[in-house]
Structure 1
Amino acid sequence: MQNNTAQIEFWNSHSGRKWVAFEDELNLVFQNVNSELIRRSQPAPGETVLDIGCGTGATGRAFSQHLAPGGTVTGLDISAPLLAQAENRAEESETEMRYHLLDAQVDAIPGGPFDLVVSRFGVMFFSDPVAAFANIHRHMASDGRLVVAAWALIADNPWFRIPRDAAVAQLGEPDPTSPNAPGPLGFQNIDHVVGVLKSAGFANARGDACKVMLSHPGPTHKLAALAANLGPAARILKKYDGNSDDLAAIQDGVLWQLQAFETSRGLNIPARLNVFEAIRE
């Protein structure tokens, strides 16, 4: 079975390590996404939770507050640098945290069967999503729930659109891709993903778009640096072999655009997500 070779290479490279450097800013921006996942999935004390694409562990730590006593969180990722940082912060959890460097598409997953599978932007990268979700399905308990968040259309997400447009203006267009291709926006088509989940064996599969606010206390230049160094801007920089001057120009463009979202309490950027839910019967 094919694994996620290209993604493994990316997330263990310098590009992946930048996510550790910007960890604190990312956790602030995405904390409301964690809250939405918790609201929908209703984690309970004693449950076993699987966090797919756990990164540095922020989502798992948020869930752990609802699992004591006796619950556990198992975090999976293909990035050794991100998992090393998650391990460094494991003591901040309310319950036991277990981390594993493996590919959820093809590898056996320790710690199951799982009552709840969650992911914050970690499931859009599978080269074979049906195979990946079928593997996840096999490791879930009967009546186990799956609740995962992904990005909706780029047009509805300034967080993606602004740095992408700034990078395009500086360097050029990104490589064209299919809307369903593995990547940050690979789950923008709700019907397609629901079909994937059904093909993988899940019951009651559904998806819906929801709005959340991406919040950050500021100053704005910190968020501009984050947006210019990660995501679509970073991929365009890599494609065109951009230099430090290009990065500075992109960051200035992002900074100017983000000022529209400044408030007296920091920045509030509206985002549209696709949240998918399903059950293993």
Structure 2
Amino acid sequence: MTIQQRLTPQTATMPPSPIVSFWNDTLAPKFVKYRHILEGGLSRHSEAVMPLLEIEQGDDVLDVGCGFGDTAIAIAHRVGETGSVLGADCCEAFLDIARHRPEKMFAPNLRFESCDAERDLGDARYDFVFSRFGTMFFTNPVAGLCSMRRALKPGGRMAHIVWRNREDNPWLIAARDVVRQFLPPPGPEAQTCGPGPFSMAGEQTTRAQMEAAGFTDIAFRRIEAKVNVGRDIEDAVSFQLAIGPAGETYREAGALGEARRAEIVLALSNLFEEVIAHEGGLWMDSSSWLITARAPS
């Protein structure tokens, strides 16, 4: 039975939300273009977190916002042939890549489906629910977290990774600050990816959201890792002007951004000149929370 088949008739027939449409129509092509940065760059957070997850052989696991499928594949190997993994995402372009990854051949217990995690993930089907840098983009965080909690069996476990404070993540904020020397910040009517990458950075607020969603035993653990921002300076500049706070500022500026692009590119190039290249690319500091919790028994 698929996620869509488990939805209520009203939910299953609802049109996509504006944010889901924006992800598919505007953001997904950019994320696919820079997959080499996003997937390779985020892998160090996954590598740090995976050994800490309470995932057991035989578990049924849901990976929310699975993206290109790398974490879902890793989890599928953890649960073994007696377990199962569903990778769920709202972007069809991401899922198409995930379904055709060569590694997928070695994970017959894994499947991928499209869904809006804020609306419905099913009821009491999973032992573990996981999300890497996905929950931050819930337009209604409590509703999205409620959906994840409902998907868990009684006493089931969850973990999600979110970015910590802006000042601890110069890989995103330094470029934004440079771009905003030339362009105004996006206005209140701007099309965005949702609340944004730092919407769950505050421990107190995020804990309150998770408690409101019905989770217990909530714990925060700080993760420090370098992230890749590009193969070289040109790649890093192009990436920042496409994705993240700098990219959002540039996109929303429209014609003004195009008119000042040469100045912005030069300033960003100067920024990345200061980043030491190693391991075939440019790497910068980043910091995230690993947040774990349980559904009530």
Q: TM-score, normalised by structure 1?
A: 0.87
SS at match of 1:59: helix
CA distance in 1, matches of 2:26, 2:125: 34
Point out where structure 2 has 5 or more consecutive residues left out of the alignment: 1-10
1:120 pairs with 2:132? yes
Point out where structure 1 has 5 or more consecutive residues left out of the alignment: none
Picking from 62, 65, 71, the partner of 1:53 is: 65
1:223 pairs with 2:218? no
- Pick closer, same or farther for the CA change 1:272–1:7 going to 2, 3 Å: same
- Residue 105 of structure 1 aligns with an amino acid whose one-letter code is E
Q: 1:91 deviation in Å?
A: 4.5
- Pick closer, same or farther for the CA change 1:56–1:249 going to 2, 3 Å: farther
Picking from 59, 63, 66, the partner of 2:75 is: 63
Q: 1:206 deviation in Å?
A: 2.3
Q: When the two structures are aligned, how many residues end up with a matched partner?
A: 277
Whether contact under 8 Å (2:24, 2:92) holds in the other structure is yes
Equivalent position of 2:6 in the other structure: none
1:256 pairs with 2:276? no
Q: What per-residue deviation string (whole Å, max 9, x for no partner) do you get for residues 76-110 of structure 1?
A: 11222222222222653642322221111112438
Q: 1:45 deviation in Å?
A: 2.7
CA distance in 1, matches of 2:151, 2:21: 26
Picking from 234, 256, 272, the partner of 2:287 is: 272
Q: 1:18 deviation in Å?
A: 0.9
Whether contact under 8 Å (1:61, 1:93) holds in the other structure is no
- Pick closer, same or farther for the CA change 1:216–1:241 going to 2, 3 Å: closer
1:31 pairs with 2:31? no
Whether contact under 8 Å (1:4, 1:126) holds in the other structure is no
SS at match of 2:79: coil
CA distance in 1, matches of 2:196, 2:178: 20
State the identity as a percent.
24
- Pick closer, same or farther for the CA change 1:190–1:201 going to 2, 3 Å: same
SS at match of 2:137: coil
CA distance in 1, matches of 2:102, 2:134: 19
- Residue 259 of structure 1 aligns with an amino acid whose one-letter code is E
CA distance in 2, matches of 1:5, 1:240: 24
Structural RMSD (CA): 2.7
Picking from 181, 184, 191, the partner of 1:169 is: 181
1:207 pairs with 2:220? yes
Which of 1 and 2 has greater Rg? 2
CA distance in 1, matches of 2:16, 2:206: 18
Q: 1:3 deviation in Å?
A: 9.7
Q: TM-score, normalised by structure 2?
A: 0.82
